[in-house]
Structure 1
Amino acid sequence: MRLWRWRNNPLRRRSDRIEAWIVLVARVLAVLGGVLVGLAAAGATDGALAAQRAHAYAVPAVLTQQAPKTPQASTDGSDGDTVWATVRWTGPGGGAHTGRTQVEPAAAAGTRVTVWTDRTGALVDEPLTPTESAFQAAATGLLAGSGTAVAVWAGGRLARARLDRRRLAAWDAEWERVGPQWRKRMTG
């Protein structure tokens, strides 16, 4: 019964053949489009994260002051296990830089910590590890591919719904033409 739209049948209408093509094209595009978009999104994400890793450098830094003992109420998105403190490090050109980064609570002034900088010596976020990057790329690809497949499937469903409305309108028009003749036979 799955292929009923493709079977030869004297009752099969032109709209049934159109619906068969809509279903076929929507399914093929949903699968192929979802896979291709997913792979492209995963590749782009992986490339961007690899570039981020390539342009971030771990640099030793020194705390310039005693770190606070307890984390404050977080509105900056930190996880609460670290505190913000000022650190000093030497940039690639030998110049001294200072900035704020997250460190362990109650760390003493002069404690060595690792910060991440770009090639100019400015602080950047720690890049994701290759494993975290692979997971991020896979999740992005999965979401992008699934979204594409759902969008194509929904487009196919909308096209079929429109086709159903046209079929119902044609049936109504046909019944308007045939109905009175049929009623005469039934009551006569």
Structure 2
Amino acid sequence: MSGVWRWRHNPLRRATDRCEAWLALLAFFLLVLAAPALGWLCGARTDAALQASVRAQRADRHLTTAVVVRRAAATRLVSDPEISSGRATRTEVVARWQAPDGTPRTAKVTTASRDAEPGKRVRIWTGRDGDPALRPMDMPTAHTHAVLAGSGAAMLAALLIECGRRLLMWRMTRRRYERIDRAWAAVGPDWGRTGTGS
């Protein structure tokens, strides 16, 4: 804003100075208003899509009680992108359970249960068909992903605005120097010589 007023009454003001000041003002308002608005819009839409996905996953997947047949591997830390904590101790076991239609199923699954000895009952996630499924995404994780998407969109918009401003400034400066070079070429050879009227 001060850039615009600085050139308002200055007798040395050029048209390019005024354009540069208005460009800076426009970029400032876009950074302050447009980038956050775009980030909020992107975050809100992402959140709505993820909430719908969470509801669909919860409708599709169910906790089922299974009986451990044997351990498949040692207890280990695995990354689970569907839960907010991100990491949880999971145990791989071979387990047996019944599908919704009553057919018996046996497969390798992971469980959060610490007591996964043979014969113990553990809770596992299954789909509608009774096959093992991943844990559904929880609401805090969906909100976190939406906030990250919105923040990323706002930062990308700010970066594009600043890159656009710098590109326009570079072009304006280049054109100014080209005009100066043309003017100098027209006047330069005779400048400062006696008897040339300068």
Assess same fold via TM > 0.5: yes
2:94 alignment counterpart: 86
1:159 alignment counterpart: 168
Q: Is the 8 A contact 2:64 2:126 kept in 1?
A: no
Deviates more, 1:137-146 or 1:49-58: 49-58
| From 138, 141, 146, the counterpart of 1:129 | 138
Code of the aligned partner of 2:190: Q
1:61 matches 2:62: no
Residues 130-167 of structure 1: per-residue CA shift (max 9 Å, x gap)? 23332222222111111111111111111111111111
Residues 1:14 and 1:48: Cα distance change in structure 2 (over 3 Å):
same
Structure 2: segments with no counterpart, 5+ residues: 81-86
1:148 matches 2:157: yes
1:108 Cα deviation after fit: 1.9
1:59 Cα deviation after fit: 1.1
Residues 1:93 and 1:170: Cα distance change in structure 2 (over 3 Å):
farther
Percent identity between the two aligned chains: 30
| From 118, 121, 124, the counterpart of 1:112 | 121
Identify, as 1 or 2, the structure richer in strand: 2
Instruction: Report the Cα distance in structure 2 between the residues aligned to 1:105 and 1:37, rounded to whole angstroms.
Output: 45
Q: Is the 8 A contact 1:66 1:106 kept in 2?
A: no
* Alignment coverage as a number of residue pairs: 184
Q: Is the 8 A contact 1:46 1:134 kept in 2?
A: yes
Instruction: Report the Cα distance in structure 2 between the residues aligned to 1:68 and 1:106, rounded to whole angstroms.
Output: 14
1:102 matches 2:106: no
1:33 alignment counterpart: 34
Instruction: Report the Cα distance in structure 2 between the residues aligned to 1:124 and 1:11, rounded to whole angstroms.
Output: 72
Give the TM-score of the pair, scaled to structure 1: 0.76
Deviates more, 1:11-20 or 1:34-43: 11-20
Q: Residue 65 of structure 1: SS of its match in structure 2?
A: strand
Code of the aligned partner of 2:90: T
Q: Is the 8 A contact 1:70 1:105 kept in 2?
A: no
Q: Is the 8 A contact 1:60 1:112 kept in 2?
A: no
2:83 alignment counterpart: none
Structure 1: segments with no counterpart, 5+ residues: none
Code of the aligned partner of 1:171: I
Residues 1:59 and 1:23: Cα distance change in structure 2 (over 3 Å):
same
Give the TM-score of the pair, scaled to structure 2: 0.73
Q: Residue 30 of structure 2: SS of its match in structure 1?
A: helix
Q: Is the 8 A contact 2:72 2:94 kept in 1?
A: no
Code of the aligned partner of 1:48: A
Residues 1:13 and 1:95: Cα distance change in structure 2 (over 3 Å):
farther
1:71 Cα deviation after fit: 4.7
